[in-house]
Amino acid sequence: MSSDISNSSHKPDGGSAQPKAPPMDKPKFWNDPKKRSLLFQVLLLSALGFVFYTIIDNTLTNLEQRGITTGFDFLTSEAGFGIAMSLIDYTEASSYGMTFLVGLLNTILIAAMGVFAATILGFILGVARLSDNWLISKFATFYIEIFRNIPLLLQIFFWYFAVLRTLPHPRQSIEFFGSFINNRGFIFPAPVAEDGFGLVAFGFVAALVGSWLISRWSAKRQERTGQQFPVFLTSIGLIVGVPLILFLLSGMPMGLEHPELKGFNFRGGITVIPELIALWLALSIYTAAFIAETVRAGILAVSHGQTEAASALGLSKGKTLRLIVIPQAMRVVIPPLTSQYLNLTKNSSLATAIGYPDLVNVFAGTTLNQTGQAIEVIAMTMAVYLTLSLLTSFFMNWYNARIQLTER
Amino acid sequence: MKYELQPAMPPPSNLIGVVGWLRKNLFNGPVNSVATIVIGFFLISFMVPVIQWIFIDSDWIGDSRDDCTSGGACWVFIISRLDQFLYGFYPEAELWRLQLAFFLLIGSIVWLVMPQTPKKGLVAVWLLVIYPVAAFFLLYGNSFGLIQVETHLWGGLSLTLVLAVVGIVASLPLGIVLALGRQSEMPIVRSVCVIFIEIWRGVPLITVLFMASVMLPLFFPEGMSFDKLLRALIGITLFQSAYMAEVIRGGLQAIPKGQYEAADALGLGYWQKMILIIMPQALKLMIPGIVNTFIALFKDTSLVLIIGLFDLLAIGQAANQDPKWIGYSTESYLFVALMFWVFCFSMSRYSQQLERKLHTGHGNRA
């Protein structure tokens, strides 16, 4: 019994002590933790090897019987189907490799849009739930409790089938400011750059660099003299003002390509397809409820003494939130926030249910059906999401290490 | 001269009662007052028509769309299809089997959740081990003199419950093994578990379901065919066990190191230590986490409609496509959402209450 100690407590150098001890019976090898663990691991490896061998063997036999060739050659052959929305040039003559790329870009687009909207909405709701205004905090609570307890797929269906699909036909579009909303999506005029627009773009970049320099200078000055400088307002003024003045001075070098009703649909302009809108709405509204909860938990994790100290210093409520509470809360908020971003990215694969051409839809859906190369296609799709989540967790670890509280 | 303690004056009338409450909670400052008025206005102008649509102008009695005349919600649509929403296409004569399984499930869960009931351990074993097997024979039949009901007839809320319960029950043992493996000192065991967990946690459930429905048949020898429901269940279980493993790992790590060391000092072996000392303490801490993953799983079961199973949401989608009832999709989405919401919300309340209860108990943090 006494030799049956667990592995966790047994240090590797524990056995080499007491050279003068009287010779004992050699313990049975299964009672030696080292040998036993070696045996376990060899057993596990051989079992895994056997399982994988059987699976691969079965798969090869099955594929041969169905006449499916393996390999990634299909990526260069012609896809032969169109995609409703593409960020790069894509035609039916493009290859399956291009299909993969289009799907990947569309996935990244919806993930980025969703992360942006969900973060803003989530932060507002998280702070609102802690508001001392009864109506605001109750409203935020209702929002959070309702939207996070309803399946995302149902919300996507609701926005797509019950809201956007019931909008009027293109001929009866709702029109405002030269834009149109109908059941084919949201159509707005496309900006077209003319000669001299480069100057405006240059002004914009210059204003960005300028406001960065100002913020550095003002931080240094505040450390030295204690005087504050309205960095935020100046930056906004620069970033909006400089390009605007250049735009007006150079004679407004930008035209608009207005959408026109031709036949049954609109030509020209930029069309945002309803699938994208529905997915975006549902993803942001759903994820915002979760983000709001992490934000609330983060704010509550900041000790109350900090808030009291801030009000003892005479900081206003807004300044307390902005300068004292939020920076400390971020330490608690960031890790769950990144996993919410990851969830949003993974959840964007539900796009396939309403036909938004994301990676799962065009690649694991249409491409798989046309080529039958299930193994390769599913493996590539999974690899994309796996890479994204590994990258995110690396970033999270790096960030966590960087903002870790350094105690003195 | 005599000094007498004067009785305390009542607080000013604008600090107590309704007025005081309003001043404190809604109008304590100009910014808050404006916010209250603006938000209140929007809420009222939004809520009044919605409530009117749902309750006041709605139709409840009838059997075809001609009975929906008042312009509000047409609940006739839902009521006339209620059986399908709850039971899918399960044969009507056999419905008692579904209902019996459902009441047994609810009964045992209520038994476990109620604080004062005795013998919780036995009921938990029944629910986690015996009940799933019994429910399978009850629902599928083909033995004990029950007629066989093919799984493609299963649907609606009962299928959602089957998926969620099997998913959680089957992933629990796998999750425990994975969590223990991840904590192990054996490098190969640990890396195998880490790789398994991270792969499943890194991919969306949809790709797992696609994999289960497309790739799984390729993995097995010719002639061995799987039921569609079984394939979905395998996918869900593998996916869920990775999440379960992380919850269990959290529970294991919350047990103070002294407990492990004390068990070692008593000369307990690895399994004795885990089963007798660590797990009983850790499982209690894990219940909120397990309930939370169960909520996530319960919502995620709706994804099986993509591989062609008729869960609650899929039944709703199918009902919307019925040509006799075109145009009432909002009603069916609202109804399905309400069903999911009731289950998820009560579970999340339970887990919050449990967390509070565990928090005030003996401090167990290391």
Q: What is the pLDDT of residues B93-121, one digit of tens each?
A: 778 888 888 888 888 888 888 878 788 77
Give the tens place of pLDDT for each residue, B277-313.
888 888 878 888 888 889 999 999 999 988 888 888 9
Which token pair is B51? 């409530």
| Chain A residues touching B198 at Cβ < 8 A | 386, 390
Are both B194 and B229 inside the same structural domain? Answer: yes
Shared-domain flag, residues B179 and B263: yes
Question: In the predicted model, what is the mean pLDDT of residues A357-377?
Answer: 85
Our CA-based measurement puts residue B184 at a distance from the nearest CA of chain A, in whole angstroms, of: 8
Pair (B213, B83) in one structural domain: yes
Residue A43 predicted with pLDDT over 80 = yes
C-alpha–C-alpha distance, residues A321 and A310, integer Å = 9
**Domains in chain B, number:** 2
Tell whether B232 is covered by a domain.
yes
Are B201 and B316 part of one and the same domain? yes
Q: What is the ipTM of this complex?
A: 0.86
- Rounded CA-CA distance B221/B235 in Å is 19
B115 and B172 within one domain: no
Kind and range of the H or E run holding A103: helix A96-129
Give the residue-averaged pLDDT of A302-328: 88
Give yes or no: residues B126 and B268 share one domain.
Answer: no
Q: Answer yes or no: do B141 and B245 share one domain.
A: no
Per-residue pLDDT tens digits for A65-91: 877 777 777 777 777 777 877 778 787
Asked if B203 and A382 come within 8 Å (Cβ–Cβ), the reply is yes
Residues of A in contact with B215 (CB under 8 A): 374-375, 378
- Each as own residue / partner, the long-range contacts of residues A191-196 (CB below 8 Å, 24 or more positions apart, any chain) are A191/A254, A191/A255, A191/A256, A191/A257, A192/A254, A192/A255, A192/A256, A192/A257, A193/A253, A193/A254, A194/A253, A194/A254, A194/A255, A195/A253, A196/A250, A196/A251, A196/A253
Task: Indicate the pLDDT class of residue B365, thresholds 50, 70 and 90.
Answer: very low
Give the Cα separation of B24 and B16 in Å (integer).
9
| In the predicted structure, residue A289 carries a pLDDT above the cut 90 | yes
For chain A, percent of residues with pLDDT exceeding 90: 21
Average pLDDT over residues A185-198: 77
Dihedral, CA of residue A175, residue A181, residue A186 and residue A191, to nearest 10: -10
Query: Does residue B249 lie within any of the structural domains?
Result: yes
Question: 């997915």: which residue's tokens?
Answer: A279
In terms of residues, how long is chain B? 366
Is the residue at B112 inside a domain? Answer: yes
Q: Tell me the residue range of the domain where B162 lies.
A: 75-90+149-356
Q: Is A78 helix (H, G, I), strand (E, B) or coil?
A: strand
pLDDT score of B175: 92
| One domain for residues B116 and B221 | no
Work out how many CB contacts closer than 8 A connect A with B.
168
User: Do B111 and B192 share a domain, yes or no?
Assistant: no
Residue range A363-388: mean pLDDT, rounded: 86
* pLDDT value at residue A20: 57
| Exposed / middle / buried, residue B25 (Cβ in 10 Å: 0-12, 13-18, 19+) | middle
Nearest CB among A5, A58, A350 relative to B221 is that of A58
Q: Choose the mutation target among A2, A3, A4, A6 for the interface with B, i.e. most B CBs under 10 Å.
A: A6
Instruction: Calculate mean pLDDT across residues B162-169.
Output: 89
> Taking CA A98 as the corner, what is the angle to CA A97 and CA A102, rounded to the nearest 5 degrees?
125
Whether B217 is covered by a domain: the verdict is: yes
In this structure, is residue B33 part of a structural domain?
no
In a domain, B67, yes or no: no
Q: Which residues of B touch A346 (CB under 8 A)?
A: 203-205
Lowest mean pLDDT of A114-118, A327-331, B194-198, name the range.
A327-331
pLDDT at A19 over 60: no
User: Given an 8 Å threshold on Cβ–Cβ distance, is B273 in contact with A6?
Assistant: yes
| In-domain check, residue B270 | yes
Q: Is there a contact between A376 and A74 (Cβ–Cβ < 8 Å)?
A: yes
Structure-token match 């969703």, residue found: A114
B328 lies in some domain: yes
Same domain, B83 and B104: no
| Chain A residues near residue B204 by CB distance under 8 angstroms | 346-347, 349, 360, 385
Domain shared by B171 and B109, yes or no = no
- Bigger pLDDT: B147 or B176? B176
pLDDT digits (tens, 9 = 90+) for B244-265: 998 998 888 888 889 989 999 9
Transcribe A189-256 into DSSP letters. PEEEE-TTHHHHHHHHHHHHHHHHHHHHHHHHHHHHH-----HHHHHHHHHHHHHHHHHHHTT--EEE
A13 pLDDT more than 60:
no
As a whole number of Å, the CA-based R_g of chain A is: 30
| pLDDT tens per residue across span A101-120 | 888 999 999 999 999 999 99
Shared domain for B216 and B199, answered yes or no, is: yes
Contact criterion met (CB below 8 Å) for B335 and B78: yes
pLDDT at A333 over 70: yes
Search chain A and give the residue with CA nearest B184.
A8
pLDDT number for residue A24: 65
CATH number, domain with residue B170? 1.10.3720.10
Chain B, 336-365: which have a CB under 8 Å from a chain A CB? 336-337, 340-341, 344-345, 348
